[in-house]
Amino acid sequence: MQMTPQQALALWRAAGAASLARDWPDLTQRQFAILLEVYLAPPPHTVRGLSETLRISKPAVSRALDRLGALDFARRKTDEADKRSVLVQRTVKGSVFLREFGDLVSRLAGEV
C-alpha cells in the first residue's frame, strides 16, 4: 500500500515524537542519514564515499561521525590497504538502536 504524502509526514511526526519519549540520543537529520547509509547500504563505507553519496562535504560527514562515534553507533578506522582512506564501520550499539527505531516506525505505520 502506497502512503500519501500526508500519511508519510504523519508517520515521520509520530516517529519523531515517540523517539523523544524514549531515552534515545537526539540525532540531527545529517547524523541520522549517515547512520542509515552505513547500516542499509552494503559496505565498505568511507568518509569520501558518504560525502559523495549524500552530497555533503567531507568535513560535515566527519563532524557527524564524531557524534556517532561518541555514541558508539559507528566507528572510523584507517583503511589498511590505503592509509589515506578512512573506513566507517557499524557497531553493535548502532545496530540495536536502528533495529529498535525500525520496530517503532513499523508499529506506528500501522496506526497512520
Domain that holds residue 82: 5-109
Cell of 48: 569520501
Measured CA to CA, the distance from residue 7 to residue 111 in angstroms comes to 10
Banded pLDDT at 103 (limits 50, 70, 90):
very high
pLDDT in tens, 50-83: 999 999 999 999 999 999 999 999 999 998 888 8
Rounded to an integer, the average pLDDT of 27-40 is 97
Query: For residue 112, is pLDDT > 90?
Result: no
* Angle ∠(30,36,42) on CA atoms, nearest 5: 130
| Per-residue pLDDT at 1 exceeds 80 | no
Number of domains in the chain: 1
Per cent of the chain over pLDDT 90 is 87
> For the chain, what percent of residues have pLDDT higher than 70?
99
Q: What is the pTM of this model?
A: 0.90
CATH code where residue 42 lies: 1.10.10.10
What is the structure's pLDDT at 30? 97
CA distance 39 to 99: 10
Indicate the pLDDT class of residue 44, thresholds 50, 70 and 90.
very high
